[in-house]
């Protein structure tokens, strides 16, 4: 028996209901039209025959019509020409791509990799390249030190490069963030550092007013820049630079160098008196050399941060490396925070964070996470994100801590008495000492009880030469862009070998499980291989569960939208 087609007949109740709804809709539309007062457009009556100059008016109207038509034709021609140009360009591009494919995938892949490496401003090699440009171009080099840990901010490789460069190149130390350290401690550090290099005490402005800030202040009257826009020591530093410029009888270039978050760009902004360089809490905001003219005789050169050598201690890498806490591995961040807490006075940390006694840094992070309400599902404290916040606080200007200078003066081997005399030549050291004492007295300093005593790890080794840089994908915060680039490269070049011999990627059968193994760095723990196997097993279980949960329901249980259940 043949199946009959479904009947299109409706029940009377349903048909009448539909008709009623349609009538109501039409009534509503008519009402709205009445309210709007929509009227039919009136026809143009034209020029009456009795009107004077009727023929002239008609001619003008015809001429207008002709002009409009001519304009339309010109526009059409222009559009056609643009389309033809676009087609020709596309044809050329297609021809070029065909030629590249014909030449071979390997050669094209290598050239693309080279261009990407050159264009990638976030890479460590580009940072070293720009830093070397600044060192070569500058007559005076300002090494910026954080007053909370001046010895940890000193780079022996940079100091050696400047002192052994020859010529008449000078190195000045700028002790920044002096408002976060007790007064006695700053005086001790100034006495210690002035025996090696001329040292300037400085407090830079963290936020300078510009056009955007002025607009904000007009809208919101509560914004107060009194504390953030104040800067001290700028006159003293400018005088020293002008003195040196007079001895040289030429316009001098001053390079500003240092580790991340020491305040290089903010010092230039303070000297300029307005926002000339970008400033931010994130590490590595400055990615290339920037020139700022203070006057006709002095030109400031802002540089990217010095890259900390992987051979440094965990403490030095946590505070001085260019790793972004938001994008880096949580294990590395945890290790860094543990090293910071272990090098501090426990009682002062408890007083500062207002938490009870703790046995180890992990318990400290869990107590702090509970206090601040950073909890995961089930009320478990979020230790990883808490560690990132703590590290950001310590690298920024929130926490007031201080370190003591070494007990006895022992200059590094590259600093002989002759070199020290050469560096101090051309500067009036007596005036410098007097002005430093004035700037220290003008500021409000925290008391030793309210700040945390910190044990410094000593000088931090840095890599200045481009050849010695070890590139690692995980150490830069912008991971999404690098992943996208890697995926594109894999699609285009399947058989090209990677240039980096240090890092290698082991890909399993599943595309989602990718393990990155690196050389073990001193100061960083190695991960067990058994953990990776357990992780794979857990991933497989989770996949099977998700697959079973994501399966569609049977056809009998599914809801049929065609049937009328009413």
> By C-alpha distance, which of 188, 132, 270, 234 is closest to 439?
234
Q: Binning pLDDT at 50, 70 and 90, where does residue 529 land? A: very low
CA distance 120 to 115: 8
State yes or no: pLDDT of 29 exceeds 90.
yes
The token duo for 313 is: 């201690």
Most confident of 15-29, 50-64, 119-133, 182-196: 15-29
**What pLDDT, in 10s, does the model give residues 539-559?**
554 444 443 434 444 444 444
- List the structure tokens of 196: 């090696």
pLDDT of residue 393: 84
**Can you spell out the DSSP letters for 405-471?**
PPSS----TT--HHHHHHHHTTS-HHHHHHHHHHHHHHS----TTTSEEE----PPPEE-SGGG---
Domains, the chain, in order of start with CATH, read 118-209+227-311+404-445 (3.40.50.300), 314-395 (1.10.1580.10)
The answer on pLDDT for 13 being more than 90 is yes
The larger pLDDT score, comparing residue 516 to residue 209, is at 209
Q: How confident is the model at residue 324 (pLDDT cuts 50, 70, 90)?
A: low
Q: Are 255 and 303 in contact (CB under 8 A)?
A: yes
Please tell me the predicted confidence (pLDDT) of residue 244: 85
Task: Calculate what percentage of the chain has a pLDDT beyond 90.
Answer: 16
Higher pLDDT, 400 or 226: 400
pLDDT, tens digit, 9 for 90 and up, residues 250-269: 888 999 999 988 888 888 88
Residue 116's pLDDT is what?
52
Please name every residue paired with 452 in a beta bridge, in sequence order, or none if there are none: 401
Q: pLDDT higher for 308 or 465?
A: 308
Residue 14: φ, ψ to 5°: -70, -40
Tell me the C-alpha to C-alpha distance, in Å, between residue 290 and each of 129, 271, 467, 493: 13, 15, 23, 36
Q: Out of 281-285, 304-308, 311-315, which region has the weakest mean confidence (pLDDT)? A: 281-285
Please choose, from the candidates 372, 356, 318, the residue with its C-alpha nearest in 3D space to the C-alpha of residue 340: 318
Which whole number is the average pLDDT over 515-529? 41
Residue 346 CA to residue 342 CA, distance in Å, equals 8
Cβ 429 vs Cβ 194: under 8 Å: yes
Q: How far, rounded to the nearest angstrom, does the alpha carbon of residue 118 sit from its chain's CA centroid?
A: 19
Q: Which two tokens stand for residue 398?
A: 């929130």
CA neighbor of 159 nearest in space, from 426, 457, 419: 419
Average pLDDT value for residue range 342-347? 88
Pairing type for strands 401-403 and 298-302 reads unpaired
376: β partners: none
Task: Convert the pLDDT of each residue in 477-511 to its tens digit.
Answer: 343 344 444 444 444 444 333 344 434 334 344 44
Place of tokens 């400055």: 286
Tell me the CA distances in angstroms from 220 to 211, 213, 358, one per residue in order.
14, 10, 43
From the list 345, 331, 344, 314, the residue with the least C-alpha distance to 383 is 331
Average pLDDT value over all residues in the chain: 76
- For residues 305 and 460, the answer to whether their CB atoms sit within 8 Å is no
**Cα–Cα distance, 55 to 340 (Å, whole number):** 95
Assign residue 288 a region (left: φ > 0; alpha: ψ between -120 and 50; beta: otherwise).
beta
CA pair distance 92, 358, nearest whole angstrom: 69
Give the per-residue pLDDT at 536.
Answer: 53
Confidence of residue 537 (pLDDT cuts 50, 70, 90): low
């Amino acid at each position: 028996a043949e199946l009959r087609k479904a009947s299109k007949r409706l029940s009377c109740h349903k048909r009448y209901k539909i008709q009623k709804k349609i009538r109501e809709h039409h009534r509503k539309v008519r009402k709205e039209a009445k309210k709007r007062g929509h009227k039919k457009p009136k026809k143009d009556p034209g020029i009456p025959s009795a009107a004077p100059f009727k023929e002239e008016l008609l001619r003008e109207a015809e001429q207008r019509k002709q002009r409009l038509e001519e304009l339309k034709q010109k526009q059409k021609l222009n559009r056609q020409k643009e389309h033809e140009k676009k087609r020709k360009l596309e044809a050329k591009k297609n021809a070029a791509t065909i030629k590249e494919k014909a030449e071979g995938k390997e050669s094209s892949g290598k050239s693309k990799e080279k261009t990407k490496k050159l264009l990638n401003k976030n890479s460590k090699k580009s940072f070293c390249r720009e830093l070397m440009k600044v060192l070569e171009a500058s007559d005076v080099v300002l090494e910026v030190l954080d007053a909370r840990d001046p010895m940890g901010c000193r780079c022996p490789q940079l100091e050696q490069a400047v002192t052994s460069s020859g010529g008449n190149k000078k190195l000045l130390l700028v002790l920044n963030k002096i408002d976060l350290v007790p007064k006695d401690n700053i005086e001790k550090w100034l006495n210690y550092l002035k025996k090696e290099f001329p040292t300037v005490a400085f407090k830079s402005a963290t936020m300078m007013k510009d056009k955007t800030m002025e607009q904000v202040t007009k809208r919101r009257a509560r914004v107060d820049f009194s504390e953030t826009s104040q800067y001290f020591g700028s006159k003293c530093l400018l005088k020293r630079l002008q003195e040196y410029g007079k001895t040289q009888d030429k316009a001098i270039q001053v390079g500003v160098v240092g580790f991340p978050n020491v305040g290089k760009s903010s010092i230039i902004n303070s000297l300029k008196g307005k926002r000339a360089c970008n400033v931010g809490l994130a590490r590595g905001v400055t990615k290339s050399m920037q020139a700022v003219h203070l006057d006709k005789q002095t030109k400031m050169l802002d540089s990217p941060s010095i890259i900390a050598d992987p051979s440094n201690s965990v403490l030095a890498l946590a505070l001085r490396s260019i790793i972004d806490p938001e994008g880096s591995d949580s294990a590395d961040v945890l290790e860094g925070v543990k090293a910071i807490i272990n090098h501090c006075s426990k009682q002062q940390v408890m007083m500062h964070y207002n938490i009870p006694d703790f046995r180890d840094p992990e318990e400290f992070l869990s107590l702090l996470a509970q206090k601040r309400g950073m909890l995961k599902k089930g009320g478990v404290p979020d230790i990883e994100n808490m560690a990132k916040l703590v590290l950001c606080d310590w690298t920024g200007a929130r926490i007031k801590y201080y370190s003591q200078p070494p007990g006895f003066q022992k200059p590094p081997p590259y600093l002989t008495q002759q070199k020290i005399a050469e560096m101090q030549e051309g500067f009036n050291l007596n005036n410098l000492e007097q002005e430093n004492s004035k700037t220290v007295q003008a500021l409000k300093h925290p008391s030793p009880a309210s700040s945390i005593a910190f044990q410094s790890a000593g000088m931090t080794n840095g890599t200045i030469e481009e050849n010695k840089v070890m590139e690692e994908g995980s150490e830069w915060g912008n991971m999404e862009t690098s992943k996208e680039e890697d995926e594109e490269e894999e699609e285009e070049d399947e058989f090209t070998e990677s240039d980096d011999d240090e890092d290698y990627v082991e890909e399993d059968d599943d595309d989602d499980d990718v393990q990155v193994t690196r050389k073990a760095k001193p100061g960083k723990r190695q991960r067990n291989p058994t953990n990776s196997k357990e992780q794979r097993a857990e991933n497989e279980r989770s996949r099977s569960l998700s697959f079973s949960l994501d399966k569609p329901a049977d056809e009998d249980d599914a809801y049929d939208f065609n049937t009328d259940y009413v």
